[in-house]
């Protein structure tokens, strides 16, 4: 690694190469020399890593022409930087076939027509390479500190691009969907539209992307934060490849830009206290001045809808210290807001210690207002593995309300979302949508005492018998109704033989009547079964018969 890498053309200017001659590969003088290696054998595939300047007396080239060609082909295939041959007793000339091959692959061949000390060459070049490496590390450290200092200053991103330009003399841009784009120097503006259009199509998992457009080459590195790509640092170059020093420098710059973006977003979230007050007032059904809070709402439209989305965060093991909750709340708010915006929502967010409340507004035609695919995608991304660093210590549950248009219905949507979470917690449903709760939507609105009386009116005798013995009549009834009266299916689900099932059904018929599978009797019994299951989870102390 070096800010100014050692090239073959630089090697030819060194003292020990004053009498050397370049006889092939004139177009390969910009090959980088990473090290030198004395190589006198023909089988060396595992001995070089690429970038080595090979020194030889020609001992390994004293063979037939095919072996000489294979030797050179191996050097080219293993990406050696070049070949230096001492012309003398072991090797008196370079065949024209080797010269032609080297020219075709832009592979430099250098000859010494007098005896040279390879030890002097290696010592000189290795010393130079190591010194350059140390200087590069020092420069990287200095630039990293500079980037961090600039990240604390106003307009820090532009200042970082200026420093990068001064260090490389290349144009730089920072492009982002969420924030303002920057470029430096002024000539870099001509690449802005191209980079914005290209970066919009990127879904980078790798930390580096190379783009070539004719003679223009770009290095594109994502700026990551909170498990997402917030923007891209782009460097224009006339060369298709960049040195390791340049790439490491760009990585350090992206880290500082990420710190700037993180700080700006956290400041924005801290300024959202009015938004939090607005949502809390709405979910409590309090009157609000919409004009006062209009900046937190999208422009009213005939096709504007919303759902209330609630996330419950449970820290059951108390792994998060109290003083860290505020920072976690801000990070969660930024992450959730960013996900929803990218999926086309207009989110209004309130984050409390154990709860995230979102008014997820969206535009849709009437027949598309359900919009479940987009909500499923949003929830999936929020709870995906890339969010684990924020939620891994917490138990996360989600509930989503029905679709509404008027802001006065927020308190209803909040109750619906909480009900969906409650039903998941009690394992009475696996869906996050309130609409999928079915009959529980009605039962949850009833007084528990009234529900208990309804259960007693239809199931008391069965439940009393189950308490006194192990007939399991209630479970048999629930499964029998679920299987729509199919005896084989019921027996299989209960893991009992059919004779046992027949006896239980006879007992049920003696209590409920032989027509208990017929409407409307069946409907009443099914409602009572669901009411009992709900009371078992929500008010078990009431269940006394």
DSSP 254-320: HHHHHHHHHHHHHHHHHTTHHHHHHHHHHHTT----TTTTGGGSPPP-TTEEEEEEEEEEE-TT--S
Same domain, 180 and 302: no
pLDDT at 341: 87
pLDDT at 386: 44
Is residue 457 included in any domain, yes or no? yes
pLDDT in tens, 58-97: 776 666 788 888 888 989 998 999 999 988 877 778 888 9
pLDDT at 410: 92
By mean pLDDT, which of 152-156, 359-363, 410-414 is the weakest? 152-156
pLDDT at 109: 93
pLDDT at 271: 59
pLDDT at 228: 73
- pLDDT at residue 504 is higher than 80: yes
Total of domains in the chain: 4
Same domain, 294 and 430: yes
pLDDT in tens, 256-269: 998 888 887 776 66
Mean pLDDT within 353-360? 87
Please report, for residues 151, 174, 193, 242, 489, the alpha-carbon distance to residue 183 in angstroms, rounded to integers and kept in the order given.
16, 6, 11, 20, 69
Phi-psi region of 227 (alpha: psi -120 to 50; beta: other; left: phi over 0): left
Please report, for residues 170, 241, 421, 453, 530, the alpha-carbon distance to residue 537 in angstroms, rounded to integers and kept in the order given.
66, 64, 13, 17, 11
Q: What is the CATH number of the domain that holds 164?
A: 3.30.450.40
Is residue 430 included in any domain, yes or no? yes
Q: Are the CB atoms for 454 and 528 separated by under 8 Å?
A: yes
Q: What is the CATH number of the domain that holds 105?
A: 3.40.1390.20
The rounded distance, in Å, linking the Cα atoms of 458 and 440 is: 18
Mean pLDDT within 172-184? 85
Same domain, 383 and 335: yes
CA nearest neighbour of 440 among 310, 540, 541, 529? 529
Same domain, 156 and 225: yes
Same domain, 261 and 280: no
pLDDT in tens, 89-131: 777 788 889 999 999 999 999 999 888 888 999 999 998 888 8
**How, if at all, do strands 52-56 and 82-86 pair?**
parallel
Mean pLDDT within 437-461? 92
Point out the domain boundary residue: 236, 268, 300.
268
The rounded distance, in Å, linking the Cα atoms of 145 and 151 is: 10
By mean pLDDT, which of 134-138, 152-156, 463-467, 485-489 is the weakest? 134-138
Q: Are the CB atoms for 276 and 351 separated by under 8 Å?
A: yes
Q: Which residue has the higher pLDDT, 268 or 505?
A: 505
pLDDT at 440: 92
- pLDDT at residue 32 is higher than 60: yes
Q: How many residues does the chain have?
A: 545
pLDDT at 273: 59
For residue 352, the 8-state DSSP code is E
Point out the domain boundary residue: 387, 410, 437.
437
Radius of gyration of the chain (CA): 37
Averaged pLDDT score across all residues of the chain: 85
Mean pLDDT within 385-390? 50
Rounded (5°) CA angle 73-74-75: 90
- pLDDT at residue 373 is higher than 80: yes
Is residue 401 included in any domain, yes or no? yes
pLDDT at 91: 77
Is residue 319 included in any domain, yes or no? yes
Is residue 308 included in any domain, yes or no? yes
pLDDT in tens, 229-249: 888 999 988 777 777 778 888
Same domain, 104 and 185: no
Q: Are the CB atoms for 361 and 338 separated by under 8 Å?
A: no
Q: Are the CB atoms for 55 and 108 separated by under 8 Å?
A: no
Same domain, 175 and 115: no
- pLDDT at residue 37 is higher than 90: no
The rounded distance, in Å, linking the Cα atoms of 52 and 81 is: 5
Please report, for residues 65, 404, 419, the alpha-carbon distance to residue 455 in angstroms, rounded to integers and kept in the order given.
98, 33, 21
CA nearest neighbour of 432 among 472, 393, 380? 380
pLDDT at 245: 78
Mean pLDDT within 367-386? 84
Range of the domain at 78: 8-127
- pLDDT at residue 454 is higher than 50: yes
The rounded distance, in Å, linking the Cα atoms of 330 and 267 is: 9
The rounded distance, in Å, linking the Cα atoms of 442 and 471 is: 30
- pLDDT at residue 317 is higher than 60: no
For residue 470, the 8-state DSSP code is -
Point out the domain boundary residue: 219, 237, 268.
268
When pLDDT is cut at 50, 70 and 90, the band that residue 209 belongs to is confident
The rounded distance, in Å, linking the Cα atoms of 108 and 117 is: 20
Mean pLDDT within 345-373? 88
Same domain, 320 and 242: no
pLDDT at 144: 84
When pLDDT is cut at 50, 70 and 90, the band that residue 469 belongs to is confident
pLDDT at 421: 94
Same domain, 250 and 361: no
Same domain, 197 and 321: no
Mean pLDDT within 160-170? 89
pLDDT at 323: 55
Q: What is the CATH number of the domain that holds 324?
A: 3.30.70.270
Mean pLDDT within 128-140? 83
Mean pLDDT within 299-320? 79
Q: Are the CB atoms for 261 and 225 separated by under 8 Å?
A: yes
pLDDT at 177: 74
Which 3 state secondary structure label does DSSP give 48? coil
| Helix H or strand E encompassing 22 | strand 21-24
The rounded distance, in Å, linking the Cα atoms of 325 and 273 is: 16
- pLDDT at residue 206 is higher than 80: no
């Amino acid at each position: 690694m070096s800010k100014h890498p050692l090239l073959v053309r630089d090697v030819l200017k060194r003292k020990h190469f004053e009498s050397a001659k370049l006889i092939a590969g004139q177009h390969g003088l910009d090959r980088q020399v990473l090290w030198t290696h004395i190589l006198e054998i023909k089988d060396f595939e595992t001995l070089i890593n690429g970038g080595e300047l090979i020194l030889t007396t020609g001992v390994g080239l004293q063979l037939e022409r095919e072996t000489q060609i294979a030797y050179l082909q191996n050097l080219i295939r293993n990406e050696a930087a070049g070949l230096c041959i001492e012309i003398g007793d072991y090797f008196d000339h370079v065949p024209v076939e080797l010269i032609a091959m080297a020219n075709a692959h832009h592979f430099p061949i250098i000859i010494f027509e007098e005896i040279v000390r390879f030890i002097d060459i290696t010592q000189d070049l290795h010393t130079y390479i190591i010194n350059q490496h140390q200087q590069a590390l020092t420069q990287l450290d200095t630039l990293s500190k500079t980037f961090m200092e600039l990240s604390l200053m106003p307009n820090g991103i532009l200042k970082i691009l200026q420093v990068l330009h001064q260090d490389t003399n290349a144009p730089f841009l920072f492009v982002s969907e969420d924030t303002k784009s920057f470029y430096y120097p002024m000539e870099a503006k001509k690449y802005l539209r191209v980079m914005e259009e290209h970066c919009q199509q990127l879904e980078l998992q790798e930390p580096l992307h190379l783009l070539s457009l004719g003679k223009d080459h770009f290095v594109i590195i994502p700026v990551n934060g909170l498990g997402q790509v917030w923007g891209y640092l782009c460097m224009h170059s006339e060369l298709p490849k960049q040195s390791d020093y340049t790439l490491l420098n760009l990585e350090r710059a992206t880290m500082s830009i990420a710190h700037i973006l993180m700080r700006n977003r956290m400041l924005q979230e801290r300024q959202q206290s009015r938004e939090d007050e607005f949502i809390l007032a709405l979910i409590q059904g309090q009157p609000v001045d919409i004009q006062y809070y209009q900046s937190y709402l999208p422009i009213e439209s005939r096709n504007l809808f919303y759902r209330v989305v609630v996330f419950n965060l449970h820290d059951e093991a108390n792994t998060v210290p109290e003083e860290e909750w505020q920072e976690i709340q801000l990070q969660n708010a930024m992450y959730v807001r960013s996900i929803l915006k990218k999926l086309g929502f207009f989110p209004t967010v309130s984050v409390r210690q154990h709860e995230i409340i979102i008014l997820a507004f969206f535009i849709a035609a009437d027949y598309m207002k359900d919009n479940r695919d987009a909500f499923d995608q949003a929830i999936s991304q929020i709870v995906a593995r890339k969010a684990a660093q924020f939620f891994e210590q917490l138990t996360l549950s989600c509930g989503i309300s029905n679709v509404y248009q008027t802001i006065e219905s927020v308190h209803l949507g909040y109750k619906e979302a909480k009900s969906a979470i409650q039903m998941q917690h009690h394992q009475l449903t696996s869906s996050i949508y309130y609409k999928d709760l079915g009959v529980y939507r009605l039962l949850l609105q009833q007084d528990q005492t009234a529900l208990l009386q309804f259960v007693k009116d239809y199931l008391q005798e069965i439940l009393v018998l189950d308490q006194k013995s192990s007939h399991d009549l209630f479970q048999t009834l629930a499964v029998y109704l679920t299987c729509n009266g199919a005896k084989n299916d019921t027996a299989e689900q209960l893991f009992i033989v059919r004779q046992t099932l027949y006896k239980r059904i006879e007992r049920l018929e003696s209590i409920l009547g032989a027509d208990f599978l017929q409407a409307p009797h069946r409907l009443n019994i099914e409602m009572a079964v669901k009411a009992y299951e709900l009371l078992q989870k929500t008010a078990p102390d009431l269940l006394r018969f």
